[in-house]
A and B are shown apart, each in its own frame.
Chain A
Amino acid sequence: MFGMEFYVDPSRCIGCQSCLKACEECDTHRGISMINFDFVDRKESIATAAYVCWHCDDPTCAQVCPADAIKKYEDGIVGSSLKPRCIGCSNCVLACPFGIPKLVPEYEQMMKCDMCYDRTSVGKKPMCATVCPSQALSYVTPETIAATRREKPVNTFWFGNQKITTKVYMMAPADAGDITIDVADYTWEGEHELVPQAF
């Protein structure tokens, strides 16, 4: 990856959706945006979140694929599904803890972000990171992030008892630890704190 890593920071996202447009313009995935974009709750807030595939070290999508259609490359990037193999079963869509893969019905194929492998494998930035005006999506060196940001890059996530480590980092408050999304992780049961366990 030429020393660069991907950092997602929803607190910097202004909702312009430039990342979607840039992604849509690429022919390697037939003009379909691979960015996941949400208004978190438009009635209550203007907050938006744009993010890419997290590229897990041990990708759940690949684990559950019955057709062996999802490959992780040597540099840690998890590819989109291989067209000749994908059977459109949606196992990965249901299993991904981040909700990243999408089944594209017209192609009967799962498609997801491959971090612009045609670009990043030769040292270029992914398209979304080149157009983001507010650095909500950044593709830079860890040294740059350490020198310029107050937030801390985090790439360990707990989904209940499943521990996921990822290639892509989430910018979290400086005092944050691993990111957990299960209430059980925060409960206190008597003397012993419930410690999340990996599978």
Chain B
Amino acid sequence: MVSAGTAYKAALGVDRAPNPWNDISEAEVLMVIGANIGECAPITTDYIWRARDKGAKLIVADPRFTPIARNADLYLPVRPGTDLALLMAMLHVIIRDGLTDQAFIEAHTTGFEKTAESVESWNPRRAGEVSGVAPEAIEKAAHLIGESRRAMLMHARGLEHQSKGVENCEAVVAIALATGNIGREGAGPIMVTGQGNGQGGREYGQKCDQLPGQRSLTDPAAREHVARVWGISPEELPAPGYTAVEIMNAIHSGEIKGLLSICFNPLVSLPDANFTREALEKLEFFGVIDFFLSETAAHADVVLAGSLQEEEEGVTANVEARVIHIQKAVDPPGNARTDSSIICDLARRLGRGEYFPFNEPREIFEELRLASQGGFADYYGITYEKIDRQMGVFWPCPTLDHPGTPRLFEDGRFFHPDGKAHFMSLAWRDSGDPVDAQFSIYLTTGRVVSQYLSGTQTRRIGALVDQYPEPKLEIHPLLAAQYGISTGDWVTITSRRAAITLQAMVVRTIRPDTVFIPYHWPGGRSANRLTHRTLDPRSKIPEYKVSACRIEKVTAPGGLS
């Protein structure tokens, strides 16, 4: 997700989807790229269906025919890791055929010429050869968007979980800017942020390079402001730290020796799981706060039983950057405690209790209001009362009488100091784990509708386990025939890092050069044993969506042929 955040910050000056979700239903053209909306954002489906009810055209780009793709007017079967080629060619066609909004570009943006130059050689034929999408289909998609004043481009992990994830998202934003499709009802680039509080987590200061309010940890003025709110000196604030994969690398190399994690199951969720396990085994101290004993928690020295969302009151920011209030429904069971009280107690035991004088989540929120004041994600004008009265408040909300900001950039002003949106120049790079003669098949990973993230919650619910008990290898009949594989056969999938054995599901809903494995399971069924640790150089997000593999039909789940 941070790939999108990094891209939006670079291009638009702020890390947020610019439009409220109701805008989706008002679009004339919707392009969904790298987003399995039906299975991973089911609630969003209805917004898309409502747009279709009003006659909107739907374009879906994905290596798999996802549940919403079957209602698409145009389906682009993009090869894993080549979305950027597709997007650059779309921008190429938009510029070539004069579909740009010249007045908007001149008044509200910078850098267009350089971006135009960077896509000049990416004609649809070249992009077609790279991406496996027909040049005519690329032209059609570009024209549908370029000829509309109400086009939205929605994207999620499919674009972001690549070693060029940031460029992918910058290309999406560039298409929206070039066609003037931003800052209006039914028009805009839309990052479909994952998880209940995936957006909010980037606003509170828990991201390793940010302070509350989406401020930069390297900005002296931001450090000054936040340090004053916290009652410390700016020098006491650390420099930007490591992201998740970088932390694992640093543990593995011996640089980091102790780790405290909250609701984090890297053995399942981080790439190259064998490497992750080696790292966890090297830790001198590992403390885990979680609501269930995950596979990762089994490696911990100390486990503190935390709480589920239903067990603690508080606010979150949803996919629209709408700050909402979650009411507590039940008490944490047994000796489990709310996460906030665990953290405050920990601070006291570490001798910093004076900075954590909180008795309830609301007091923490009051501090966040002050700490975020004047930042991009300004919470100052958001109160519990206003959240409850308005069914949530969109940030920025700088004053107590401000209603919040459901739609950004309506006045054509962007969040950079110059008030302009910045076109970012786009450059092609190959995947960090390229296919070759030995590993000739693309492997992409993702999710199924009945499981959530690393499965810590959903693999414990019988009905959801019944719905999809084990990960299956999705494979096209053309590829399956080459290996004599039928549905139900055991197949060993080998990448440059590891091998796992799963049962095949032969389906026509995936590209014939690609196989798919959902990632929610641990151990020998873990798709992330196969994936690699190549990161996007800016967002530091790993390339889950593109690996190279080979397959072999075997007779037994043990992998023996």
Contacts and interface: CB of A to CB of B under 8 A. Distances in A.
A71 to B, nearest CB: 30
B66 A16 contact: no
Interface string A9-49: 00111111110110010000000000000000011111110
Contacts of A14: 38-39, 42, 45, 67-68, 449
Contacts of A15: 38-39, 67, 449
Given A43-B508, A44-B508, A149-B53, A17 B467 contact: yes
A42 B505 CA distance: 9
A45 B75 CA distance: 14
Contacts of A47: 70
Interface residues of B, number: 30
B507 A133 contact: no
Nearest to A18: B42
Contacts of A24: 463
A176 to B, nearest CB: 16
A148 interface: yes
A153 to B, nearest CB: 13
B69 interface: yes
Contacts of A134: 38, 42, 45-46, 49
Contacts of B274: none
Given A46-B69, A134-B45, A150 B53 contact: yes
Contacts of A18: 42
Contacts of A13: 67
Interface in B443-498: 449-450, 463-464, 467, 477, 487
A16 B509 CA distance: 17
Nearest to B468: A17
A24 to B, nearest CB: 6
Contacts of A16: 38-39, 42, 449-450
Nearest to B71: A11
A90 interface: no
Nearest to A147: B53
B50 A148 contact: yes
B509 A46 contact: yes
B103 interface: no
Interface residues of A, number: 24
A135 interface: yes
Nearest to B467: A17
B45 A133 contact: yes
A51 B492 CA distance: 37
Contacts of A12: 45, 49, 71
Contacts of B52: 150
A177 to B, nearest CB: 21
Contacts of B88: none
A133 B463 contact: no
Contacts of B487: 43
A42 B472 CA distance: 13
Nearest to A9: B49
Nearest to A13: B67
A11 B48 CA distance: 13
B43 interface: yes
A43 B508 CA distance: 6
9 contacts: A14-B38, A44-B507, A45-B65, A46-B509, A48-B67, A134-B38, A134-B45, A134-B49, A150-B53
Interface of B: 38-39, 42-43, 45-46, 49-50, 52-53, 55, 65-71, 449-450, 463-464, 467, 477, 487, 505-509
Interface of A: 11-18, 20-21, 24, 42-48, 133-135, 148-150
Given A14-B39, A16-B42, 11 more contacts: A14-B42, A14-B67, A14-B68, A15-B449, A16-B38, A17-B450, A45-B508, A45-B509, A46-B70, A133-B43, A150-B55
